[in-house]
Amino acid sequence: MTTETVRGVVAVTGATGKQGGATARRLLAAGRPVRALVRDRTAPAAVALADAGAELAVADFDDPAGLEPALAGATALFAVPPVAYGPSGSDDELEFTRGRALADAAAATGIRQAVFTGVASTSGAAFAAPGKRRIEEYLHERIPLVTVLRPVRFMTNYLGMNGLALDGIVNGVHRHLFTPNQPLQIIALEDIAEFAALAFEQPDRFAGRTLELAGDAPTPVEAAAAITAATGIAVRYEQLTHDEATALNPGFAEIRRQWDTGHRWHADIEALRVIHPGLRTFTDWLTETGSAALRTQLLGAP
């Protein structure tokens, strides 16, 4: 580890999205120089990052030739290759191709440290994420100091997810695939950023490690009750039936089946809290930002 590695520029992909945006803001708040890789400098999220002190560099995962210039001079990388979709759903091969191009460009420009964020694992294949797993392996081959973060479901998913035909709260009902009265691990985006910042600050401690990330594990029914209490708006939970899940996507039905049979996320929350004592519970998130955001969305006003 060198001082340059610890204090040099961190290139952040996905900087206008959820995890990348949270990480860029966390690093900037700590005084770490950030270069945000964006496709459009004029996008509101990109402008906000620039106003916060980030350097902007235009890059596109589907244009590998542009990645090296965007990464030149950076010493570390926060990697969130975009999820790829094809006619039949997730395109794992395209996702890996994008991740490989990013890793190759990082290696070519001399980047020595990378923090890659993917998706949490289970004991089954419900969230196998083969594209992401291949990117993890490839980064280990190409970059000397790699930390892998595998977060579970985001707490912000209660606000809804663009392009996904489930999640969010509609007409006072939260509908999803998960078993109503069994714990469901969740995490705040800000805590993913905290673990990324720790890895960048202490590369020798975190290099080579894979961290399954979660901050709390209420049941879906408990989470709905917590939202009701925090917002004053009645919310209840319903699990999609097998047929309903199949109608949305056969893959959703398989996830539902595996989840019901016990193949679930397994982050060690208490051990994570030792590493990051400020790890947020669901109640913490609701108190800080979630309740206000949910009220705004559900009522159309603060």
Give the span between the Cα atoms of 291 and 108, in whole angstroms: 45
Average pLDDT over residues 154-182: 88
Residue 164 lies in a domain: no
- Residue 95 to residue 80: CA distance in whole angstroms: 10
Domain total in the chain: 1
Output the average pLDDT for the chain: 92
Q: Which of 41, 42, 40, 114 is nearest to 74 (CA)?
A: 114
Structural domain includes residue 25: yes
CATH (domain of 71): 3.40.50.720
- Residue bearing the bigger pLDDT, 76 or 89: 76
Q: Determine, yes or no, domain membership for 257.
A: no
Lowest model confidence (mean pLDDT) among 48-57, 96-105, 147-156, 254-263: 254-263
pLDDT at 199: 98
The pTM of this model reads: 0.93
Domain assignment present for residue 226? The answer is no
Return the higher-pLDDT residue of 262 and 274. Answer: 274
| Beta strand segments in the chain, E | 10-12, 34-38, 55-58, 76-79, 85-86, 89-90, 113-117, 145-151, 153-154, 169-170, 173-176, 186-187, 210-213, 236-239
Task: Give the domain range for residue 14.
Answer: 3-154+188-214+265-279
Give 45: exposed, middle or buried? Use CB within 10 Å, 0-12, 13-18, 19+: middle
66 within a domain of the structure (yes/no): yes
Beta-carbon neighbour count of residue 73 at 10 Å?
Answer: 15
Predicted confidence at residue 127, as pLDDT, reads 67
Q: Is residue 44 part of a domain?
A: yes
Cα 286 to Cα 227: distance, rounded to the nearest angstrom: 8
Q: Domain for residue 93, yes or no?
A: yes
Least confident of 2-11, 125-134, 148-157, 211-220: 2-11
Asked if the structure places residue 236 within a domain, the reply is no
- If one compares 301 and 290, the residue with the highest pLDDT of the two is 290
